[in-house]
Amino acid sequence: MIDDDVVHVGVDVGGTTTRAVAFDTALVPLGIESAPTLHGADLIAERVGELVAALGRSVASSRHPATIAVCMPGRVDVATGTVADAVNLGIDAPVEMGALLASVLGAPAHLENDVNAAALGTFHELGLGVRSSLAYVNVGTGIAAGFVLGGRVWRGATGGAGEIGHIPMRADGPSCPCGQVGCAEAIGSGRAVGHDPQRREHVVAAVAWTVQLCALTLDVDLVAIGGGLTEVGQPFLDALDVQLADRESVSPFLRSAGLRSRVRLAPAGVPLGAAGAVLAARADIAGVAQRAR
């Protein structure tokens, strides 16, 4: 069998749209199918099944995909395929999402948290090597980060790594649905600022805070910024640079930490989540093979 026939499928289950992308082995997209996201674990799995089948027809591959990888919001236990806390998708208590997907697809699917997948996709797109480290900060309805350390996703002890949106910025800030006060997410997420352009400055301030957190705690090489609220691109980056310069201007310590020089925009127009899900699946398979040896 020649390698050219091999297809890897990544599916990104977003809050509004589910996108399935077929990739070749070099992770070049071969085709894409999308449809509105359905709510509830069973319907989500059915939708994924429909899109993967549609991709099989449009990409004209007679082979079953070598990899099927799915990323979605929530607390994802990669080992067991359990997903919880994806409230926007109608999933609250833990569900056996991996098993549901396997029964619909007729094959096992790797599951990953969507921000972790986007972090891996960004790591790949930025051309970073295995010795490099990246924090990817997603600024959308909420604020969350994914970490790729030494080329591997850091999921944490419970799969909950990267909830930096719930680290309070201010003791007197607005209350957050999580129960705390002054969370970055309560100040500068899409949910917090809505469509009010006057409050977009709050988003930049919250992201500057998360950049400082990532740089000072993990000392990552780069902090990439992505998500719906950053799609304006360079103007967002410019505003962020001004905020970081303000922070550095009062602190020789922050200046030497080089906050400003670590920031990048996540690549636009690329299916980062779908690509990252495939990368995560491959790393997982490689890890299993290594342990089996």
Tell me phi and psi for residue 136, to 5 degrees: -110, 120
- Picking from 87, 287, 110, 126, the residue whose alpha carbon sits closest to that of residue 221 is 126
Which of these ranges, 19-27, 57-65, 109-117, 176-184, lies near Zn ion under the rule CB under 5 A?
A: 176-184
166 is a contact residue toward Zn ion (CB under 5 A): yes
Nearer of residues 65 and 142 to Zn ion, judged by Cβ: 142
| Residue 71 Cβ vs Zn ion, minimum distance, rounded to whole Å | 23
Nearer of residues 173 and 267 to Zn ion, judged by Cβ: 173
- Picking from 187, 221, 182, the residue whose alpha carbon sits closest to that of residue 202 is 187
Binding to Zn ion (CB under 5 A) within 178-207 occurs at: 178, 180, 183
Helix segments in the chain, DSSP class H: 41-58, 97-105, 114-125, 184-188, 190-193, 200-217, 234-249, 252-257, 272-292
Cβ pair 274, 19 in contact under 8 A: yes
| Residue 175 Cβ vs Zn ion, minimum distance, rounded to whole Å | 9
| Residue 163 Cβ vs Zn ion, minimum distance, rounded to whole Å | 8
Give the burial string for 112-145 (b: 16+ CB within 10 Å, else e): bbbbbbbbbbbbbbbebeeebbbbbbbbbbbbbb
| Residue 164 Cβ vs Zn ion, minimum distance, rounded to whole Å | 10
C-alpha–C-alpha distance, residues 44 and 131, integer Å: 36
Nearer of residues 183 and 244 to Zn ion, judged by Cβ: 183
Contact string 71-110 vs Zn ion (x = CB under 5 A): ----------------------------------------
95 DSSP β-pair partners: 83
35 DSSP β-pair partners: 18
Which of these ranges, 12-20, 81-89, 166-174, 217-225, lies near Zn ion under the rule CB under 5 A?
A: 166-174
Q: CA quadruple 52, 37, 194, 177: dihedral positive or negative?
A: negative
Which of these ranges, 50-58, 77-85, 96-104, 160-168, lies near Zn ion under the rule CB under 5 A?
A: 160-168
- Choose which of 44, 45, 164, 176 interacts with Zn ion (CB under 5 A): 176
| Residue 144 Cβ vs Zn ion, minimum distance, rounded to whole Å | 11
Nearer of residues 169 and 215 to Zn ion, judged by Cβ: 169
| Residue 119 Cβ vs Zn ion, minimum distance, rounded to whole Å | 21
Q: How many residues at the interface with Zn ion, by CB under 5 A?
A: 5
Nearer of residues 29 and 173 to Zn ion, judged by Cβ: 173
**Secondary structure of 139-162 in HEC code, one letter for each residue:** ECCCEEEEEEECCEECCCCCCCCC
| Residue 285 Cβ vs Zn ion, minimum distance, rounded to whole Å | 35
Nearer of residues 178 and 286 to Zn ion, judged by Cβ: 178
Contact residues toward Zn ion (CB under 5 A) are 166, 176, 178, 180, 183
